[in-house]
Structure 1
Amino acid sequence: MKNWISFPKVEGTASRQAHVRLPAGTYERELGREGFFGPATQMHHAHPPTGWTSFDGPLRPRAFDLNHLDHMPNSPLEAPALMGNGSTQVRLWRFKGRMDHLVRNADGDDLLFFHQGGGHLYCDYGHLEVREGDYVVLPRNTCWRLETDEAVMVLMVEATGDAYKLPHKGLVGTHAIFDPAVLDVPALDDAFQAQKHERETLVRVKKRGQLCAMTYPFNPLDAVGWHGDLAPVRLNWRDIRPLMSHRYHLPPSAHSTWIAGRFIVCTFVPRPIESDPEALKLPYYHSNEDFDEVLFYHRGQFFSRDNIHPGMVTYHPSGFPHGPHPKAYEVAQKFERKETDEVAVMIDTRDPLDVYQAMDGVEWGGYADSWKAK
């Protein structure tokens, strides 16, 4: 256990509570540790912390339009890697049709988020129908394939050498955010029985980033039954009922959905905007002291961003302050919007991320300049 140096103090002109009743003419920035879970200070500035006139070097915020990635491999194991580190690999898989082989990821659990399209996922445990907005957690080494009549666009987040767990929900109880009862598991239904056969079947396996192959004289998805508490699970964002406070803007950690050892995955879904006139009404300026932040935009208008549309992803490395864009901040100050309509997936990683070559042709080069006051 860490014993943080703790000495709560107040200097100069400051609010009594975080994110509430900011001193007139100031901009609040949170400096925090452990990604909103550790000690933090609310700094009040005379100018926006994102008010730079130029930005250069490896810390710059970056944005990418994944809609322009046109590579469509027939295997998720060959989906282009977008960014990653020793704890996670983030990929994008675009596919249409019927996989002619099975796959297994021996490197870690896979989290699939269906941004577009759906279909039928067959795996060791049975059959699972999937649609737009679904998360599917595939435990490490699960054997599976996908059939779809429409094009799918799937964000894939690997927990390298690790497993996904549910966040602790503390005071609000185990049924908050989403009741675990809504987690669906595959079924040994008629569709699963119909896919069984005695024909030669190829299974491709990823281990330590390398692809291997095994050939069986039959379809190894041949389970006749199973029991236990390890299986793929499905969760749609529409079943997430976010924590809300009309008097206080909750941190991103309140929207945690999946937890791994070195990163977390949060989901932002539509909700009412804070109505208390003294409360901050959008994400506050903050500095990433311990985590890199990735945001994938699924649908709607992200209420703290300008010029961002579904299918884009932003990357904010640890080490610089960031927060709402000027226009979004102005709209929030006037309380012109009463609720959000966005759905977004956030990946916060404790270890720095590398951006891979696949992203070279889809970057919005002017993203770092988008905070400049117009």
Structure 2
Amino acid sequence: MAGLKYLSGFGNEFASEDPRCPGALPEGQNSPQVCPYGLYAEQLSGSAFTCPRGTNKRSWLYRILPSVQHKPFSPITCGNLTDDWNEVEPDPNQLRWKPFIITKALEKKVDFVEGLHTICGAGDSKSRNGIAIHIYTCNTSMIDRCFQNSDGDFLIVPQQGEILVTTEFGKMMVEPNEICVIQHGMRFSVDVFGETRGYILEVYGAHFELPDLGPIGANGLANPRDFLTPVAWFEDRTVASGYTIINKYQGKLFSCQQDFSPFNVVAWHGNYAPYKYNLENFMVINCVAFDHADPSIFTVLTAKSTRPGVAIADFVIFPPRWGVADHTFRPPYYHRNCMSEFMGLIKGRYEAKEEGFQCGGASLHSMMTPHGPDADCFEKNSTAKLKPERVAEGNMAFMFESSFSMAVTKWGLETCQRLDKSYYKCWEPLKKHFNPNWKPGSM
């Protein structure tokens, strides 16, 4: 899309200015006494000032008016957005949801913020340690209002309908099979073009980054050069009726009014910016001998915890690839995990559960809850002739994996009325194949 440029790697310095105002970026210093074009200099910090250089995140924004000029914030209704992880009793069962319903525009106009629904989460935004998983369903664009998350980062995964995301840094068109990340504190607005649905992973206290590659070497998984960030774009627009800033702060929503558009940044530079990524660019690493590799080899982005090797959250995908393993049950193995696994389906059919797990729906297998392929998948793949074959062709499933024990909201368990209460039945037909007289070479 026009208005995007290559982001050549996380942690690097980038600079952009709207071509309508050449020279808008100050030269030689960040905050001169008078900025070019009479702009205001404003820094957006995504890390503590004293973080090591490699993890220090900040950008300088050169804007027509600073963001400080607004009326006081007041509380507003949160709708189905929540961080109350104790509103219903815990549920350790395998959970699966049918596709989440999008309200028809003829019934009610719902924009991105009004269409946010929290399905599960854990931790605390005040202490800056935790996550939340949301669904968004909407049918109309945000008009003269924008959203700011003061609690954490949003990783947005569109499933139905493209979204045009306008940010203080510029614009991004994000389509299904792409993702975008709006980092902590960045203001943005979402335009849609019909009935729209997707998933959001929110993390508190950490930023998403590329996973370490270790023995894989220098290349593989998501390549830094494939991440795109917008070029500067501004509007110098007065809104007589008032422009609304919606602020998510300590899990609650607040709004304030100002009489100008917040998207008035003429130029910016720094290493703290929104970005997008096309999942088709993921370079798959996979097993070429035997056994089923752990899903960590499909990690696109990770938000690390303070414990080495343990993530607050990983964003993992299951893209089209070749299956070639010999003497192996190729689908995912049955397992119980000390991590919580939330899965969604962007398109196609998930190979381990071809029936029941649908596009726009989801599943949650919480900490130590057993799960794995359904009975049909097990029987078919236990007797299949093993030959090289394409796996997940035309499909894209993903997983939000977290070290937190997830609590499901009242909306997720009751209000949305999309919970598939027969999910457990997909394992009931599993047969006992035990043979005490088995000998090597026999079936």
Aligned to 1:363, the other structure's residue is in SS state coil
Q: Distance in 2 between matches of 1:162 and 1:72?
A: 34
Q: Which of 238, 244, 267 is matched with 2:280 structurally?
A: 238
1:175-208 deviation line (CA, Å, top 9, x unaligned):
31121101010122xxx34x44122421110100
Could you say which residue in structure 2 is the equivalent of 1:84? 121
Q: Distance in 2 between matches of 1:162 and 1:136?
A: 16
Query: Deviation at 1:58?
Result: 3.2
Query: Deviation at 1:133?
Result: 1.5
Quote the RMSD (CA, aligned, Å).
Answer: 2.0
Aligned to 2:260, the other structure's residue is in SS state coil
Judged with a 3 Å threshold, the aligned counterparts in structure 2 of structure 1 residues 320 and 158 are, in CA distance, closer, same or farther, namely: closer
User: Is contact 1:72–1:94 with CA below 8 Å preserved after alignment?
Assistant: no
1:7-28 deviation line (CA, Å, top 9, x unaligned):
xxxxxxxxxxxxxxxxxxxxxx
Q: Distance in 2 between matches of 1:297 and 1:268?
A: 10
Could you say which residue in structure 2 is the equivalent of 1:169? 213
Could you say which residue in structure 2 is the equivalent of 1:159? 203
* Range moving further from structure 2, 168-177 or 62-71: 62-71
Could you say which residue in structure 2 is the equivalent of 1:65? 98
Aligned to 1:322, the other structure's residue is in SS state coil
1:179-258 equivalences in 2 (<5 Å) = 179-188=223-232, 192-193=233-234, 195-199=235-239, 200-248=242-290, 249-258=292-301
User: Is contact 1:103–1:204 with CA below 8 Å preserved after alignment?
Assistant: yes
Judged with a 3 Å threshold, the aligned counterparts in structure 2 of structure 1 residues 128 and 64 are, in CA distance, closer, same or farther, namely: same
Q: Which of 272, 279, 288 is matched with 2:328 structurally?
A: 279
2:113 maps to amino acid: P
Judged with a 3 Å threshold, the aligned counterparts in structure 2 of structure 1 residues 160 and 77 are, in CA distance, closer, same or farther, namely: farther
Say if 2:314 is the partner of 1:269: no
Could you say which residue in structure 2 is the equivalent of 1:330? 379
User: Is contact 1:292–1:316 with CA below 8 Å preserved after alignment?
Assistant: yes
Q: Runs of 5+ in structure 2 lacking a partner?
A: 1-89, 124-129, 306-311, 431-443
Q: Distance in 2 between matches of 1:174 and 1:229?
A: 22
User: Is contact 1:73–1:93 with CA below 8 Å preserved after alignment?
Assistant: no
1:288-338 deviation line (CA, Å, top 9, x unaligned):
1x2111111222221111422211211112223321112112222304782
Aligned to 1:285, the other structure's residue is in SS state coil
TM normalised by structure 1 equals 0.78
Say if 2:178 is the partner of 1:131: no
Structure of greater Rg: 2
Q: Among all aligned residue pairs of Structure 1 and Structure 2, give the percentage whose two residues are the same amino acid.
A: 19
Runs (4+) off by over 6 Å: none
Could you say which residue in structure 2 is the equivalent of 1:97? 140
User: Is contact 2:152–2:203 with CA below 8 Å preserved after alignment?
Assistant: yes
Q: Which of 413, 420, 435 is matched with 1:364 structurally?
A: 420
Query: Deviation at 1:75?
Result: 3.8
2:428 maps to amino acid: K
Query: Deviation at 1:132?
Result: 1.4
Q: Distance in 2 between matches of 1:245 and 1:85?
A: 33
Q: Distance in 1 between matches of 2:109 and 2:425?
A: 32
Q: How many residue pairs end up in the alignment? A: 312
Q: Distance in 1 between matches of 2:320 and 2:253?
A: 40
Q: Runs of 5+ in structure 1 lacking a partner?
A: 1-56
Aligned to 2:133, the other structure's residue is in SS state strand
User: Is contact 1:247–1:279 with CA below 8 Å preserved after alignment?
Assistant: no
Q: Distance in 2 between matches of 1:303 and 1:221?
A: 43
Q: Distance in 1 between matches of 2:152 and 2:93?
A: 30
Could you say which residue in structure 2 is the equivalent of 1:314? 363
1:17-48 deviation line (CA, Å, top 9, x unaligned):
xxxxxxxxxxxxxxxxxxxxxxxxxxxxxxxx
1:134 maps to amino acid: E
Query: Deviation at 1:161?
Result: 3.0
User: Is contact 1:77–1:103 with CA below 8 Å preserved after alignment?
Assistant: no
Could you say which residue in structure 2 is the equivalent of 1:49? none
Q: Which of 279, 290, 299 is matched with 2:347 structurally?
A: 299
Could you say which residue in structure 1 is the equivalent of 2:408? 355
TM normalised by structure 2 equals 0.67
1:81 maps to amino acid: T
